Amino acid sequence: MTLNTKLASFSILVLFLATSAQAQIKKASKIPAVADKDYWAYIPEASQVKDGTKGTTVSNDAFYMAKFEVTNAMYNEFLMSLTGSEKQERMRKVSQTQLAFQNTERTAYGEHPGFANFPVVDVSLADAQAFAAWLTKIYHTIEKRPFKRVKFSLPNEQQWTVAAKGGQNTAVFPWGGPYLRNAKGQALCNYLRYPETAIVNYLDEEEYKVDVQQIAPEMANAARIASYPANNYGIYDMAGNVSELTTTNFIESREDITAKGGSFAQTGYWAQISTRQAFTKPNFYTGFRLVMEVIEE
């Protein structure tokens, strides 16, 4: 691929993210481009945070975390840049699930333009790392860039946790509070939730019984990125929507890695910052976001 082709491809990505009408949300007029400094949240050095697993206090070097999950539009630009066997290797298999369309065209989630600004899913850790390496190369071809040299990668679990807490060491969820809904009863993230349980009371053989009938969840679909409020660092969707890959092993002696944040397909328990889940293979509810290391300003 020539340099001009790469620049053209990245320009399409930048233009799409910066101007798409679908990116309009209440507290942010538009989603900035990856090459825009506003796309990134600065996470200060030595932020103290309680490790949910070991109960210890840890610190971190300063870094930048993407405010948004990687979208279908961004990942498709990466796929378009590939050729031959490499392209076939990286092409994700779109799951046959109730992911985005309710009952029709379910296999079109990754390619349908209506889902361009939805989080990419069905990717492996290797796929995500290949995307980060590709984006690093493309970034350095941009003449007017905020930093001279950077490296994009996936966060480790500690980085993800520090960013999710938003400077609030005791936060249960990224918004700081211990509840999944606000005072108006509105969900604060996209998680699997059920309406009030249907209760049927009846008499049977002179014995009073209660039959609990579980009914369908209110929502079981991915949402457009930044559909819910950001945390104190300005980062969106650290809880719910799609789970996010980290580079940290779930158990040191095993090959599976840790995913964080919960998803639209999981209950609110998994949206807690401290909750960990093992990721073994691509699925319809796990995506990723990037961190940026500034090598030279």
What is the spatial order of strands in the sheet that 277-279 belongs to? 277-279, 257-260, 243-249, 286-287
* pLDDT category of residue 92 using cuts at 50, 70 and 90: low
Average pLDDT over residues 53-74: 83
| 8 Å CB contact between 64 and 41 | yes
207 found inside a domain = no
Domain that holds residue 177: 3-181+219-296
- Please write the tens of the pLDDT for every residue from 252-282: 878 899 999 999 999 999 999 999 999 999 9
63 found inside a domain = yes
Vertex 283, ends 279 and 173: CA angle to 5°?
60
256 found inside a domain = yes
Average pLDDT over residues 82-90: 80
48 found inside a domain = yes
- Is beta strand 63-66 parallel, antiparallel or unpaired with respect to 40-43? antiparallel
38 found inside a domain = yes
Number of domains in the chain: 1
- Is beta strand 63-66 parallel, antiparallel or unpaired with respect to 57-58? unpaired
212 found inside a domain = no
110 found inside a domain = yes
Give the 3-state secondary structure of residue 123. Answer: coil
Tell me, what CATH number does 232's domain have?
3.90.1580.10
| Phi, psi angles (nearest 5°) of residue 161 | -65, -45
Average pLDDT over residues 131-143: 95
- Please write the tens of the pLDDT for every residue from 100-109: 455 444 567 8
Residue 200 or 248, more confident: 248
205 found inside a domain = no
Among 51, 38, 272, 88, which residue's Cα sits nearest to residue 174? 272
Average pLDDT over residues 231-247: 97
